[in-house]
Amino acid sequence: MRLDKLLSNMGYGSRKEVKKLLKMKAVSIDGVVAKDVSLHVDPDKQSVTVLGERVIYQEYIYLMMNKPAGVISATEDLYDQTVIDLLDPVHAHFNPFPVGRLDKDTEGFLLITNDGVLAHNLLSPKKHVPKVYYARVDGRVVIEDIEQFRQGVILDDGYHTKPGKLTIINSGEISEIELEISEGKFHQVKRMFEAVGKKVIYLKRLSMGNLLLDDRLKLGEYRELTAEEIESIR
């Protein structure tokens, strides 16, 4: 990889700025001051330093966010704050994107990465990656709903959903439930409840595949996935 691309990818500024670093003799490769930005380097085999500090090359970034309500699951938006706007520049410069969408008013687990292959695999309908949601529902959720969801329900556009695993935590005028589904149709959880005559008034995603929302993350906070977590979703 070209030296300027490597340093730019790792957050040392634009290629122009990287050129300035080289002019200042701030960059060395295997201890020798680098003079040419177009030089090809292998970050696994060669030691690149900037002002004496070793540059550890990382191509991909994997972040778990506890998405707050009011923020859009997109990379940019004309009117609203996006989940990418919540990232520190040291993470944002990897140009990550959210894997799938949560509605603006939905909270909870959101994976943000720049690994397109992994994102594609997690979202592929063929992989049936389970997603678990917690919801508060206006209306009494009853045993019959569990059976209906088990068989799949018919959404407003006529689509017959795959089975959902519904667990009632609390049944009352306002019910609390958990729902596991393996699809990601637009507004799916809300529309599944509409199909049985009830309205979701609060929705939070708890997990995606093997990844559970870290309960130490406050709304709007995020952290990098651990190596084990990344391995578990490959």
- Total residues binding ligand URA (CB under 6 A): 8
Beta carbon of residue 188, minimum distance to ligand URA (angstroms, whole number): 4
Q: State which of positions 168-227 bind ligand URA (CB under 6 A).
A: 187-190, 203
Q: Tell me, yes or no, if 103 is annotated catalytic.
A: yes
Stretch that binds ligand URA, among 12-20, 29-37, 77-85, 102-110 (CB under 6 A): 102-110
Rounded CA-CA distance 160/148 in Å is 11
Q: CB–CB of 168/144 below 8 Å?
A: no
Residues 6+ apart with CB under 8 A from 228: none
Q: Is position 153 an interface residue for ligand URA (rule: CB under 6 A)? A: no
The catalytic position among 77, 85, 103, 105 is 103
Of residues 112 and 189, the one with the C-beta less far from ligand URA: 189
| The only residue of 103, 176, 180, 183 in contact with ligand URA, by rule CB under 6 A | 103
- CA-nearest of 143, 182, 190 to 161 is 182
As measured in angstroms, the least distance from the Cβ of 187 to ligand URA is 4
Of 136, 75, 108, nearest to 218 (Cα)? 108
3-state helix, strand, coil in the chain (%, to 5): 25, 30, 45
> CB 52: neighbour CB atoms within 10 A?
7
Site string for ligand URA, 49-88 (x = CB under 6 A): ----------------------------------------
HEC readout, 183-226: CCCCCHHHHHHHHCCCEEEEEEEEEECCEECCCCCCCCCEEECC
Token pair for 192: 């599944």
State the nearest-atom distance from the C-beta of 152 to ligand URA, in Å. Answer: 15
Q: Which is nearer to ligand URA, 9 or 75 (CB)?
A: 75
Residues with a catalytic annotation lie at 103
Residue numbers at the binding site for ligand URA (CB under 6 A):
102-103, 106, 187-190, 203
